[in-house]
Amino acid sequence: MDLEDNATCPPDSKVPTSRKRIALAPPPVRKSAYRAAVRVTSNTPSLISGTRPTKRAKARHPTATSVFALWKDDAAYFSGFVRERVGQSDRFKIQFDDGDEDVVDVKNLRRLEFRIGDRVSVIESQEKATIANVDRQEQGTVIVRLNDDPATLLEVKVLGIKVQNRAIGTQWGDRTIVADEIKTLVPRTKSETPSSLLRNSSSGLGKKKILTKVGIVVTLSVGCDREKEKEIIMRIIRTNGGTVLDDWSDIFSLAGEYFMKKKRWVITSDNIGTESKHDIQQVFLVSDAANTKPRFLTALALGIPCLSVEWLRGLSSGQCAVSDWPSYLLPAGYSDSLGARVSQLVDLDWGSTLDHLTSIMSNNVATKLFSDQSVLVLGPEYFPPPAKGKKNTSGVGEEKFNDGGRFIPRIIVSMGAARVEAVPELKYSSNPDLKEFQYVVVKDMHERPSIGGEKYVSMEWVKDCLIAGRMFPPRV
């Protein structure tokens, strides 16, 4: 073990700027983001009501490629055009017809080419429809047939239509785009290598301080020259306004208390709180790969997103924003019991409220596998010693997170245990007959004491359960 270091469409967040309804009978007067459209045939009263903010449509450039592009917040495709290519990647900055912009992978772009039968949604009314006529597509309008009222044909501006992601997958497969065929509004600039992206981070995004109030723990997998790479990563963080956290004790209180002449150390879930430092409002862990070092395992236990270093490189090159972090989640790790790499289970709205930090132990997304349990951690290699040469009653010693085994008790309490007790020998336990403990964690199952029976589990088992996010039968 490496322990060293479908139904009614929901409201849209994107509301385009113009739409036209046509009706034989005038529809009710209403204020909306669209001019009243006209229904071609219908005696059905309008179901649209309410108000929407007015937003002027951006003029589409005549030479730039027009596309339908994925807007992740709605998991749907909207119309726009390609402004520019981002670096040497197959990612493009899209200017949507409502004025919003985003960087989108070429795989999430489709030619702006409606066909009869395409399943779509009318944005303003949230009505589902199918394309019925595309004769005026080049002029920016199409005719749709409403699913709930097939006798109704509605003329809608292209920018007033969205296509759900699933419909794109089933109907738009032959309308994909090859990156080199795309015409951009802004010409491409000279190429940049990955190393230059790192070197230029201080002169580009650094001025924007996009990582202000973000705390980041950096841990790298075992390998050569890690310290040099780690220094580069930390420099990128600091240059862009972020705070480098040495370990989780820099932001969370992980202090326990000694008893029995410092031969017994106890930590409870109530001991874990947030230390208000540097006005940090959001935290992440960054690594080159999933690993089983204490910082990584503690982040998994607390439900803190563990991200690839490529996220930082993406920030440096302008290929992504801070909010794009879910796309850079690392695996939780490899589970021996499942024989597979497992994804992390995290709150995708992580950081949207300070409560995510101040009430870290109330994170309902993280799998608190030891919830409300009492756990004994047995063995000198897992016992947190006091710091040498100074008075210490918490067990947060000079080794911090570097001496991994000594932080096993903190990892376990982060997994939801109500109380964790660590002792070098069983005789120092508050309950030597082990009746008060649900689990006893040891390093080597073959050397476990005879008392306690089936309560013994190995740290390898704990780690496997944490990575998989489920309890496996204990290994004998």
Return the domain boundaries, the chain.
198-362, 374-468
What is the distance between the alpha carbons of residues 456 and 439, in angstroms, rounded to a whole number? 6
Q: At what angle do helices 294-302 and 459-468 cross, to 10 degrees?
A: 50
The Cα–Cα gap between 354 and 374 comes to 29
Task: Spell out where 260-330 has E strands.
Answer: 264-268, 273-274, 282-287, 306-308
Mean pLDDT for the chain overall: 80
Place of tokens 């075992």: 222
For residue 59, pLDDT beyond 70: no
Instruction: Give 227-231's long-range contacts (Cβ < 8 A, gap of 24+).
Output: 229/288
* Chain center to CA of 124: 29
DSSP for residue 329? B
233: three-class secondary structure by DSSP = helix
Q: Write out the E strands in 123-251.
A: 127-133, 141-146, 153-157, 161-164, 214-218, 243-245
- The mean per-residue pLDDT over the stretch 56-84 comes to 81
Cβ-Cβ contacts under 8 Å for 446 (sequence gap 6 or more):
none
Q: Which residues make beta-bridge pairs with 214?
A: 282
Of 372, 377, 374, the residue nearest 416 (C-alpha):
372
Grouping H, G, I as helix, E, B as strand and the rest as coil, residue 208 is helix
Beta bridge mates, 266? 257, 421
68 pLDDT higher than 90: yes
CA triple 162-164-165, angle to 5 deg: 130
User: Is residue 21 predicted with pLDDT exceeding 80?
Assistant: no
Contacts of 149 (CB under 8 A, 6+ apart): 42, 44
* Stated pTM of the model: 0.58
Average pLDDT of the segment spanning 347-360: 88
Q: What length does the chain have?
A: 476
pLDDT above 50 (res 92): yes
What percent of the chain shows pLDDT beyond 90?
Answer: 49
> CA 435, CA 151: separation in Å to the nearest integer?
73
Angstrom CA distances, 224 to 3, 253, 264, 266, 458, stand at: 17, 32, 37, 37, 30
pLDDT tens-digit map of 415-469: 999 999 999 999 999 999 999 999 999 998 888 888 877 899 999 999 999 999 9
Structure tokens at 60: 């589409």
What average pLDDT does this structure show over 391-397? 48
Domain at 198-362: CATH code: 3.40.50.10190
The predicted-structure confidence for 100-148, as pLDDT tens digits, reads as follows 888 898 999 999 999 999 999 999 999 999 999 999 999 999 999 999 9
Kindly indicate the confidence band of residue 97, based on its pLDDT and cuts at 50, 70 and 90. Answer: very high
Task: Give how far Cα 440 sits from Cα of 5, 187, 370, Å.
Answer: 24, 64, 12
pLDDT digits (tens, 9 = 90+) for 185-235: 877 544 333 344 445 454 444 456 899 999 999 998 865 457 888 898 999
